[in-house]
Amino acid sequence: MNQIFPRIDTLPGIEAELNYLAPMTERPQTYTYEPPAGTPRTNIQPEPHRVSIKSIRPILGLVSLDREGFAVVNHPSAVQDFFNEEEVKAVYYPEAEALLKAATGADRVFIFDATTRRRDEGTANVAGQPRQPVLRVHVDHTAKSGPERVRYWMGADAEELLHGRTQIINLWRPTRGPVFDSPLAVADARSVAPTDLVPSDLIYPDRVGETYGVSYNPAHRWFYLPEMRRDEVLLLKCFDSAVDGRARFAPHTAFIDPTTPNSALPRESIELRALVFHNRRDG
């Protein structure tokens, strides 16, 4: 039974502009490093669309990773400084692993990436520094790159793990709050057609990864968590090997909230990316 969307029109929300992938005849690609001479860093062009973005707050207990592709968890952390890499690995990684096991029933969790972000308008991403929010609708992994990521990180165990259900889940948390500036919007995975997801190359010096760009579809249902606090975590489904109707890919993006007060501090956040394994294929 649909517990949420008969109520969607009554939920509070805002209207804001989101940057979708503009139609293109060539395959989208982005270099993670300085590209060869004469080659643009990316051939992706944004296509802005003004959309309705509803608040998750009134329905926090109803949304789920397997239905909408996202969930919100109250999760205080013992981390004092999320920009301290050593502390994050020693304290936050174990906290996050326990959280994911509790939230999904997983048998094994492996965190393979942590990214800190601090918005600084007009500043480009610099290696070793917090990155800028991504103002583009996307999904971090695809049906192809999800299993490839498992093989990249899990070595000899990969094929056995891939025989069970495998997920890639992001944990997104403000490092200070409440967040007014550059919040994160996430789409209900059920409102996204497979043809809306466009495989796109992410080119590294030693390999080529794959993400999804997202084409505009007026059927998309968007949500955000207004004034998100430091002890709140947004879980995002970026890949699921299950093909039985459960959510597999949840598009998301940072966006400019037109209601942001002028006094708001620039957004700071951390996201972890985790491989989540279930011994049984059905999870």
Question: For 145-181, how does the pLDDT look when each residue is reduced to its tens digit (9 = 90+)?
Answer: 999 999 999 999 999 999 999 999 999 999 998 999 9
80-94, 107-121, 177-191: lowest mean pLDDT where?
Answer: 107-121
Cβ neighbours of residue 93 under 8 Å, at least 6 residues apart?
111, 114, 272
Mean pLDDT of 73-91: 96
| pLDDT score recorded for residue 279 | 82
Asked if the model's pLDDT at residue 89 lies above 90, the reply is: yes
**For the whole model, what pTM was predicted?**
0.92
Residue 1 has pLDDT above 70, yes or no: no
How do 70-74 and 232-240 pair as beta strands? antiparallel
pLDDT at 19 over 50: yes
Q: 212 pLDDT exceeds 90?
A: yes
CA distances from 263 to 32, 86, 181, 182, 260 (A): 33, 32, 10, 13, 8
Q: Would you state the CATH architecture of domain 10-278?
A: Sandwich (2.60)
CA distance 137 to 143: 17
Residue 7 is predicted with a pLDDT of 66
Q: State the average pLDDT over residues 193-214.
A: 96
The CA angle 27-28-32, to the nearest 5 degrees, is 130
Whether pLDDT at 236 is above 70: yes
pLDDT grade, residue 4 (50/70/90)? very low
Q: Which of 185, 173, 175, 178 is nearest to 263 (CA)?
A: 178
Q: What is the residue extent of each domain of the chain?
A: 10-278
**Mean pLDDT on 10-16:** 93
